[in-house]
Structure 1
Amino acid sequence: MDLPRVNDDSVDYVTPRAAGVPDPWSAQGGGRTSQRLVEVAEVPAPEPVAEAFALAEGSPVVLRRRIMLFDGRPVELTHSYYPTPIASGTELAEPRKIPGGAPTLLARLGYPPHEVVEDISVRQATAVEAAELEITEGHPVLVLFRVTRAFDGTAFEASMMIMRPEGRHLRYRIMVG
């Protein structure tokens, strides 16, 4: 299965959108892409998320868990975490789609992106991941862990994306100076 190569630059996924402009995943692929919101809940922060937010492991954070689909098939599991003081009482904590995506809402809340750090690795899929991605347990998955920070250094979003590696193309643009 080939995934769309339109919009494969991470910058688009962390950039706030203009009013009425759909999130980058929904905007690409000519209707071939969609997403299913699986869970929105306050959960204990897993270790890498707690570290990113400078919290004690297990501190409460808001989780938005989605399955990204291409041609109706699951291709990515996205778990986005937000510090409770930022997310509570906002659309981030509500079980519905956010118009324009979370970066658009976060910018309106005073958290425009300034720095993004992505860590990419490959490992074997867990049984749960394999079932959700419709692959065999132990199949390789690409894991991207992204932390987005504001101008003052505050980390306000941490996302773990577990992807089928087939057809993936990641592109990074780095400007220095």
Structure 2
Amino acid sequence: MSSDDAWIGDAQPYLAARKRGEADAWSAEAAARGRQGSQQLLAVEEVEAPSAVREFLRVPQGELAVVRRRLILLDGKPVELADSYYPAHVARDTQLAASTKIRGGAVTLLAALGFTPEDEPLEDVAAAIATPGQCEALGLRPGTPVLVLTRFTRSAAGEPIEVSIMTMTRNLRYRQRKEAS
């Protein structure tokens, strides 16, 4: 996605359960801009999560987390890799641990399981040079910079439920809100 294609994104639709028959948040966001957003499920597996993920999810070292790995497409072209991690005690024996798409998305399933996401998760944004695997998946030349957005989400009750690591080829523009003092 070129800088001409940048748009201001809002995390809120990605944190809200979808209504029956409603498109997933990415498809809806892209469609609102006259584009087609889709995703391809690459893998669902139990893994030893990276340390920052493990610490946030309160998964002890040596225990596994469930990760859903996806390739995000815009108009059929790869624009993002998204890995979403869940504590095994939340995901195991649910659609989160199945190698199929989840109707309404993971947020909708989490809400149905009693884990409604908080309104304002912590998001960390960093720049990095794409790894060889990321270059291959996203169709990038070696040495291409990418943005890495990591979203740490708790349930409304305060329980850590998801960490999503999104490696993006597109521009990211944020709108911040001022808190009343």
| AA in 1 matched with 2:81 | L
Once the two structures are superposed, the pairs formed by residues 108-119 of structure 1 within 5 Å of their partners are 108-114=112-118, 115-119=120-124
What value does the CA root-mean-square deviation take over the aligned residues?
Answer: 1.8
Q: Quote the residue 1:5 is aligned against.
A: 7
- 1:32 equivalenced with 2:36 (yes/no): yes
Distance 1:139 1:57 in 2: 33
Alignment partner, residue 52 of structure 1: 56
Q: Aligned residue for 2:150?
A: 145
Task: Encode CA deviations 1:66-116: one digit per residue, 9 max, x unaligned.
Answer: 000011110000000000010011111111111111111100000001241
Contact 1:50 1:58 in 2 (8 A): no
Match of 1:93 in 2: 97
Q: Report the CA distance shift for 1:174/1:22 in structure 2 as closer, same or farther (over 3 A).
A: farther
Stretches of structure 1 that go unaligned for 5 or more consecutive residues are none
Does the residue aligned with 1:29 lie in a helix, a strand or coil? helix
Are 1:122 and 2:127 counterparts?
yes
Q: Is the 8 A contact 2:152 2:164 kept in 1?
A: yes
Structure 2 gap ranges (5+): none
The one-letter code sitting in structure 1 at the alignment partner of 2:143 is G
C-alpha separation in 2, matches of 1:24 and 1:130: 25
Q: What TM-score, normalized by structure 2, do the two folds share? A: 0.89
Question: TM-score normalised to the size of structure 1?
Answer: 0.90
Equivalent in the alignment of 1:15: 16
For these two proteins, the number of residue pairs brought into alignment is 175
Q: What is aligned with 2:65?
A: 61
SS at match of 1:28: helix
Determine whether 1:107 maps to 2:108.
no
31-40 or 54-63: bigger deviation: 54-63
Moved more, 49-58 or 85-94: 49-58
1:57–1:151: structure 2 CA closer, same or farther, 3 Å change rule?
A: same
CA contact (8 A) 1:9 1:173 kept: no
